[in-house]
Amino acid sequence: MGARTSPTERQRRLGAELKRMRLAAGVSAETAAGLLKVDRPRLSQIEQGYRAISSDRLRTLACNCDCADEAYIDALAAMAQPSRRAWWDRYRGTLPAQLLDIAELEAHSPHLRTALAVHIPGLLQTFDHALAVFGVAVPQLPEHELALRLEFRMERQEVLGGVQPTRYTGIVHEAALRMQFGGARVAKAQLEHLLTQSEQDHITILAIPFSAGAFPGSGQTLTYAEGPVPQLDTVQVDSTHGPEYVHAEAQLNKYRAHLDWMEKITLSPQGTRDLIRSIAQEL
């Protein structure tokens, strides 16, 4: 199999973990390349996600890097398996690859935690709410691009449905609940949708009331995607130029503490529903 021209975020993450494992063990690139029976340029491509690695070779590397964490090795081996075509692959070549990486990240996470100060979480948005949000993009999206993004946003939400839905915790500031994207009618329907979703066992919605005051990273939109093992957790942060992905241990610790702090100042799930219901009644 030849080199990939554009590895996905998941493929890059696997390569980064292999390099991290090698460096932590003090194993040189020359030694690792010899163990894998490849030359150094190919090893570099593997560690950057441009080339695949078999599960057997991955386990050989882990053994010689004295990695004894079987759960972590098994999770990496699962990442190394050839991926089957997924629903988001239909959008490859028509939507930015960074957006497809979000869907892949969500699909492989057993628990998603999000925090938003101004917007409703994308996985909980109604079609009309999403239309209002995408409608104010700068520069303005052409009609066909707008339609693609809306279709993709709605299809992403399927991760919260099905037989084995992803567990989801959404922290939303009261400001986001009071924003009237699309007008009062659309805003009210969006709030009613949140109430319905919050009644599902695997979905927890927590509101930060105005009275809670300051909190870390005020205004930042982030998603914390838990991996099959803690070492493979990932943080996705929104920016005006697209999503950014963070997985350094220090950064993961910071964002976990960030979210834990925010959860401590939220209303209870029932208190959140009461607030949402009250705001909806005002519209």
Q: Which of 80, 103, 134 finishes a domain?
A: 80
The answer to whether 271 touches 127, Cβ cutoff 8 Å, is no
Place of tokens 């999503």: 243
10-residue mean pLDDT series, the chain (283 residues) = 84 97 96 95 96 95 95 96 91 94 96 95 97 91 95 97 94 97 97 97 97 84 95 91 89 95 96 98 95
111 in the same domain as 27: no
Place of tokens 């692959």: 89
Count of domains forming the chain = 2
Q: Which of 80, 108, 137 finishes a domain?
A: 80
16 in the same domain as 134: no
111 in the same domain as 59: no
In a domain, 137, yes or no: yes
238 in the same domain as 118: yes
270 in the same domain as 141: yes
105 in the same domain as 243: yes
In a domain, 3, yes or no: no
**CATH code for position 42:** 1.10.260.40
The pTM (predicted TM-score) of the whole model is 0.94
In a domain, 159, yes or no: yes
Q: Find the domain containing 38 and state its range.
A: 9-80
**CATH code for position 277:** 3.30.870
The answer to whether 45 touches 2, Cβ cutoff 8 Å, is no
192 in the same domain as 72: no
99 in the same domain as 32: no
In a domain, 2, yes or no: no
Q: Which residue type is seen at 23?
A: L
> What pLDDT sits at residue 1?
57
208 in the same domain as 98: yes
Cβ-proximal residues to 252 (8 Å cutoff; 6+ apart), any chain: 230, 233, 235, 246
228 in the same domain as 259: yes
Where on the phi/psi map is residue 165: left (φ > 0), alpha (ψ -120 to 50), or beta? Answer: beta
Cα separation, 22 vs 26, in Å, equals 6
105 in the same domain as 68: no
Q: How do strand 234-237 and strand 244-246 relate by DSSP bridges?
A: antiparallel
